[in-house]
Amino acid sequence: MTVRSLWLGACALLALTTACQSLSPLKSPSNAALQAQQAPSRAFEFQSLFEVDGAGDRWLESRFRDFDQGLLKENLNLRTQGPLQLKPEARQGRYLSRAYTAPFAFNAVMPAWTAQIPAGAQLEVQARVSNDGHNWGSWLPLFQERSILLPQQMRFIQYQVLFKSPDAARLPVFEGISFQFGKTRPNAGLSRAGRKQALVPKPEVLPREAWRARPPKGEYTPHTPAAIVLHHTWKPTSAQYLKDATIRGIQNYHMNDNKWSDIGYHFLIGPDGVIYQGRPETVVGAHSTPNTNYVGICIIGDYDPGQDPLTPESYAALLDLMTWLTSEYGIATQEFYGHRDFSTKSCPGDSVHHRLDEIRTEVKRRLELAQQPPAPRR
């Protein structure tokens, strides 16, 4: 994928992203190590810069490898102009960058980094932003090549990288990061400060109480929805569906036989178009490894070739739900998957999986419609 096409994809994504709308009120930094950032920040050194035409927005790209100017390097080895690596004797480390001044006030930023993360090791990248270089918002988790949209314009950004390793043989290495900044047009409608509501209404979802769900056995692990994975039940088939009794049966199976803490899916859709809430979508489910950041939707029925047809009711509910999730969490439509994309199973069946492209197109169309400003009154 070229940088340009990636970036155009990001523009589309930006329009949908709401991930940062919970940006907390700006606070003074408490960490004494951060005082250094109050010195005037050096502007980015641009190694590449281009404008994306067509949309009228200006997007800039910058790259840097200036780890030696970082404010904090806990348990990290560093070569000048080289990568950051966790020290062999350390299991955790932290790098805190200096504050950077963006080339213009921005309300969107997209990170891209390069790193080597051995199996079992972890690397977490976070950023926070400021409009004056003194008061900073809370740390926001970053996802590779995923735009975050800010509720107001900012001028400064700082990032940190958290390293974790199980042993000295598996040390994560962080090689570099770039941030691309974006500024939407004033009338884009998405940069309104403090905007909270999703662009599209949430479809009716039957809450857990309504289908008499058992409480979960353990604590949930929070995550941010960033992709959607579709499943089918296979068994029960569409004809075996008994409304909420079926959902309770699936929950019992997951909790009793699979020994999971709760039903694995976040949502289930009946052939009658009823949407059931499984786990809250803001917590990690159990449906398709690696699960974290993946929202699992299960369509009741067997959608393998020659089996159940996907009912118009369940397809309509699926579109409503996926459009809302995409809008609410800024999920890119390229991040729609079937379980088979991660597994050797045929799940969610050809009748569902073959429609993924059609679903992407329809969700995009609905979101574009939702973004159009209301027609002027006469």
> Of the listed pieces 107-115, 196-204, 335-343, 355-363, which binds Zn ion according to CB under 5 A?
335-343
User: In degrees rounded to 5, what are phi and psi of residue 95?
Assistant: -115, 130
Cβ closer to Zn ion: 188 or 318? Answer: 318
* Nearest-approach distance from CB 176 to Zn ion, in angstroms: 37
Please state the closest distance from residue 276 (CB atom) to Zn ion, in A. Answer: 16
Q: Which is nearer to Zn ion, 161 or 298 (CB)?
A: 298
Determine which residue in the list 339, 353, 355, 366 makes contact with Zn ion, applying CB under 5 A: 339
Q: With b meaning 16 or more CB within 10 Å and e meaning fewer, what string describes 335-370? A: bbbbbbebeeebbbbebbbebbeebbebbbebbeee
- CA dihedral of residues 70, 75, 79, 81 (deg, nearest 10): -30
Regarding 254 and contact with Zn ion (CB under 5 A), the answer is no
From 277-285, 316-324, 334-342, 358-366, span contacting Zn ion (CB under 5 A): 334-342
For residue 340, the minimal CB distance to Zn ion (Å) is 8
Query: Least Å distance between CB 209 and Zn ion?
Result: 26
- Binders of Zn ion among residues 203 to 242 (CB under 5 A) are 231
Give the footprint of Zn ion on residues 1-60 (CB under 5 A). none
Size, binding site for Zn ion by CB under 5 A: 3
Q: What x/- string results for residues 349 through 378 when contact with Zn ion is judged by CB under 5 A?
A: ------------------------------
In the complex, the smallest distance separating the C-beta of residue 321 from Zn ion, rounded to whole angstroms, is 16
Nearest CA to 161 out of 222, 102, 80, 74 is that of 74
Span interacting with Zn ion, options 86-94, 137-145, 174-182, 344-352, rule CB under 5 A: 344-352
Shorter beta-carbon distance to Zn ion: residue 183 or 231:
231
- Closer residue to Zn ion (CB): 75 or 291: 291
Single residue of 347, 352, 363, 367 touching Zn ion by CB under 5 A? 347
Render 254-271 in DSSP notation, one character per residue. IIIIS--SS-S-SEEE-T
Closest to Zn ion by CB, 60 vs 310, is 310
Hey, which residues between 269 and 328 contact Zn ion (CB under 5 A)?
A: none
Q: Which is nearer to Zn ion, 123 or 298 (CB)?
A: 298
Shortest CB 368 distance to Zn ion, Å: 30
Return the number of the residue (138 or 343) whose C-beta is nearest Zn ion. Answer: 343
How do 100-116 and 92-96 pair as beta strands?
unpaired
Is the CB of residue 28 less than 8 Å from the CB of residue 153? no
* Minimum distance, C-beta of residue 63 to Zn ion, in the bound complex (Å): 39
Give CA separation, 332 vs 59, 191, 202, 360, 367, in Å: 19, 18, 18, 9, 11
Nearer to Zn ion, 98 or 339 (CB): 339
- Residue 267 Cβ vs Zn ion, minimum distance, rounded to whole Å: 13
CB neighbours (10 Å) of residue 326? 28
From the list 95-103, 262-270, 312-320, 337-345, the region that binds Zn ion by CB under 5 A is 337-345
Residue 377, Cβ neighbours under 10 Å: how many? 4
Nearer to Zn ion (CB atom), residue 203 or residue 285: 285
Q: Closest Cα partner for 76 from 144, 161, 178?
A: 161
Dist. CA 297–CA 322, nearest whole Å: 9
Q: In Å, what is the CA distance from 302 to each residue of 173, 230, 318, 350?
A: 44, 13, 16, 10
Sheet hosting strand 267-269, strand order edge to edge: 205-206, 275-277, 267-269, 294-299, 227-232, 336-338
- What's the min distance (Å) between Cβ of 80 and Zn ion? 49
**Between 248 and 345, whose beta carbon lies closer to Zn ion?**
345
Report d(CA 213, CA 245) in Å as an integer.
Answer: 10
Instruction: State the nearest-atom distance from the C-beta of 221 to Zn ion, in Å.
Output: 20
Q: E strands along the chain, which residues?
A: 58-64, 72-74, 76-78, 84-86, 92-96, 100-116, 122-130, 140-141, 148-164, 173-183, 205-206, 227-232, 267-269, 275-277, 294-299, 336-338
Residue ranges in contact with Zn ion by CB under 5 A: 231, 339, 347
